[in-house]
């Protein structure tokens, strides 16, 4: 029996080694494991895109108090994106970039919704080598090919109403961890990412290229995962003392305001709602917070950095206080905040 088990294990190992070294077809993509470092507290897998709700949820994960413009704060929970677009110059097409758009579902829903009132162009910058989306036909894998016909199948499958061919999002495959990205300076009005940062080790490159390619007056919001459990002494701190970084930076001659925010579920509640939350949910709450990297560029800066009285480095305090978190959250916080600290623009 022992020999049979040993033979079975040998065949099992040989089979999966062969799959990795000799892909079945050109549609199979070998994933660079160094880009998928999960960290010691990994507790599950990333969910696939749920569409536009997931994408705009990245913005809703940013404390609205951080925005300088009252017009942006007031409709924050309903339609922040439309309010943001109203602050931009409408004389030219608004360029939108999603970093890591998967099959392109959320990006396409975004274009379909806002192209009725704005001239919107969308670009999907997918990580080269990223696993192809495998769903039932007719999903073709817009993640892998810049083919309008293939993307059109995805639009029809999800009933996404993009009528004009020139509005179909463009897919660009590349390595977001290397300089330079294949885009010109000051190109994008709006940049978002849901979960791709957890798959990239070189986050200093990502931040540098976001600052370079973002238009003046534009906004970028990049999801960095979050925490499941933190010490109560940390999550009970005032909101402004849970911002891991917020300052003006200069990176390769490009100036922007960058914030790394930690948002708890009660941060945007009214006083009455907070009382109700404390009565019903505080006992079961363990410190789950969402982290977002927000970038604003130009004279019409949208971000207003809160003043904190904490003398201790806020990122280090968060890293020490939080015990369970999403894949690579601790690495991402450390890399990004240390890089930004080195590029603070002192007046």
Q: Is residue 197 part of a domain?
A: no
Among 266, 222, 221, smallest CA distance to 242 is for: 266
Q: What was the pLDDT predicted at 314? A: 92
Instruction: Give this prediction's pTM.
Output: 0.81
Q: Is residue 293 part of a domain?
A: yes
Partners of 221 in beta bridges:
192, 294
Q: Is residue 136 part of a domain?
A: no
Eight-class DSSP state of 312 = S
Q: Is residue 295 part of a domain?
A: yes
Nearest 10 degrees: CA dihedral of 204, 207, 213, 214? -170
CA–CA dist 80, 70 (Å, integer)? 11
Phi-psi region of 222 (alpha: psi -120 to 50; beta: other; left: phi over 0): beta
CA–CA dist 221, 226 (Å, integer)? 14
Q: Is residue 96 part of a domain?
A: no
Q: What was the pLDDT predicted at 276? A: 94
Among 174, 297, 160, 289, smallest CA distance to 236 is for: 289
Domain that holds residue 332: 38-68+205-347
Local confidence pLDDT in tens for the 347 residues of the chain: 455 544 444 343 333 233 222 332 222 222 232 322 222 332 333 333 467 888 888 888 899 889 998 888 888 777 888 888 888 877 788 999 999 887 788 889 999 998 888 899 999 888 764 444 444 443 434 455 556 677 788 888 888 988 888 898 888 888 888 999 999 999 999 999 988 888 888 999 999 999 999 999 999 999 999 999 999 999 999 888 899 999 999 999 999 999 999 999 999 888 899 999 999 999 999 999 999 999 999 877 899 898 777 668 999 999 999 999 999 999 999 999 999 999 999 86
Q: What was the pLDDT predicted at 4? A: 53
Q: How many domains does the chain have?
A: 1
Partners of 188 in beta bridges:
214
Q: What was the pLDDT predicted at 321? A: 96
Task: State the residue for tokens 């999403």.
Answer: 326
Eight-class DSSP state of 341 = H
Q: What was the pLDDT predicted at 39? A: 28
Instruction: Report the DSSP pairing between strands 214-230 and 322-325.
Output: antiparallel
Contact 256, 296 (CB under 8 A): yes
Q: Is residue 58 part of a domain?
A: yes
Q: Tokens standing for 153? A: 């199948």
Q: Is residue 233 part of a domain?
A: yes
Q: Is residue 299 part of a domain?
A: yes
Contact 249, 236 (CB under 8 A): no
């Amino acid at each position: 029996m022992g020999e049979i088990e040993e033979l079975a294990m040998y065949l099992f190992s040989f089979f999966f080694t062969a799959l990795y070294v000799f892909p079945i077809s050109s549609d199979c993509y070998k994933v660079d494991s160094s880009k998928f470092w999960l960290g010691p507290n990994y507790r599950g897998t990333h969910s696939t895109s749920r569409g536009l709700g997931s994408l705009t949820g990245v913005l809703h994960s940013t404390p609205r108090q951080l925005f300088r413009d009252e017009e942006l704060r007031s409709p924050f929970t309903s339609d922040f994106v439309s309010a943001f677009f109203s602050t931009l110059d409408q004389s030219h097409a608004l360029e939108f970039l999603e970093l890591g758009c998967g099959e392109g579902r959320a990006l396409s829903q975004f274009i379909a919704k806002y192209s009725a009132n704005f001239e919107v162009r969308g670009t999907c910058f997918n990580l080269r080598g990223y696993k192809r989306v495998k769903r039932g036909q007719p999903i073709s894998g817009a993640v892998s090919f810049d083919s309008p016909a293939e993307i059109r199948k995805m639009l029809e499958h999800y009933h996404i109403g993009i009528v004009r061919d020139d509005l179909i999002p463009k897919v660009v495959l590349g390595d977001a961890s290397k300089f330079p990205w294949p885009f010109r300076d000051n190109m994008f009005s709006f940049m978002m990412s849901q979960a791709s940062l957890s798959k990239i080790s070189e986050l200093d490159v990502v931040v540098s290229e976001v600052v370079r390619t973002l238009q003046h007056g534009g906004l970028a919001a990049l999801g960095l995962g979050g925490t499941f459990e933190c010490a109560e002494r940390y999550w009970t701190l005032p909101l402004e003392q849970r911002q891991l970084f917020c300052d003006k930076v200069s990176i390769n001659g490009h100036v922007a305001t960058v914030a790394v925010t930690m948002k708890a579920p009660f941060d945007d509640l009214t006083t009455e709602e907070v009382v109700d939350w404390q009565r019903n949910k505080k006992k079961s709450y363990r410190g789950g917070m969402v982290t977002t990297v927000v970038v604003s560029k130009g004279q019409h800066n949208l971000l207003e950095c809160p003043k904190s009285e904490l003398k201790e480095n806020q990122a280090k305090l968060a890293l020490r206080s939080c015990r369970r978190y999403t894949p690579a959250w601790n690495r991402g916080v450390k890399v990004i905040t240390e890089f930004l600290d080195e590029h603070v623009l002192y007046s």
